[in-house]
Amino acid sequence: MHDHAYDKAQSRLVRDAVRAYRALLTSVTEGMPRHLVEEAACRFDPDLHAGPDVFTDEPADAKAAREQVAREVCAECPVWASCLFYALDTRPATGVWAGLTSEEIATLAGGHGASTPTPREAA
Ligand code: SF4
């Protein structure tokens, strides 16, 4: 027997998930140059680089493990250099960019703190 109500609910869930994923991707990549967005290795799993939202607790060891995996993704990214220059220029407040945390980027850029809102804050 075919359950149309179940099919409808399932397709609504898929549609909502796709919409949520697109919104997340947009929030992470907002303001990035187009070629970075299109070729970024992190586009498949933006959460890995951005971390959980502000309402979700992330223990320090889980954060360190996530950031390490994000660094490994960055190491294979075809737009790594562009991403690094972009991050040094915009100094994001959170996340892993070009294999560096926002704190490391701020140190490398020689400044203190972020000059732009986080992707999630901007969303
Ligand atoms: S270097 Fe890392 S953060 Fe930058 S675009 Fe590539 S995967 Fe994303």
98-108: per-residue pLDDT in tens?
999 999 999 99
pLDDT value of position 97: 94
pLDDT in tens, 7-64: 777 777 767 666 665 565 565 566 677 777 788 999 888 889 999 887 889 999 999 9
- For atom 5 of ligand 1, which residue has the closest CA? 40
Between 65 and 26, whose confidence is greater?
65
| Residue 107 belongs to a domain | yes
Contacts by residues 106-112 (CB-CB < 8 Å, ≥ 24 positions apart): none
Residue with tokens 């898929």: 14
Residue with tokens 């399932």: 10
Probe residue for ligand 1, chosen from 69, 80, 102 as the CB with the greatest number of ligand atoms within 8 Å: 80
pLDDT in tens, 68-87: 999 999 999 999 999 999 89
> How many domains does one find in the chain?
1
| Residue 123 belongs to a domain | no
* 49/99 Cα distance (integer angstroms): 9
| Residue 80 belongs to a domain | yes
The number of the ligand 1 atom at minimal distance from the alpha carbon of 96 is 3
| Residue 109 belongs to a domain | yes
Query: With bands split at pLDDT 50, 70 and 90, how would you rate the model's confidence at 123?
Result: very low
Query: Strands 96-97 and 100-101, how do they pair?
Result: antiparallel
CA angle 121, 89, 57 (to 5 degrees): 30
Q: What are phi and psi of 91, to 5 degrees?
A: 45, 75
What residue numbers bound the domain in which 51 lies? 4-117
pTM, two decimal places: 0.66
| Residue 23 belongs to a domain | yes
| Residue 67 belongs to a domain | yes
pLDDT value of position 118: 46
Q: What are phi and psi of 112, to 5 degrees?
A: -125, 130
| Residue 92 belongs to a domain | yes
The single-letter code of the amino acid at 108 is: L
* 111/36 Cα distance (integer angstroms): 24
| Residue 122 belongs to a domain | no
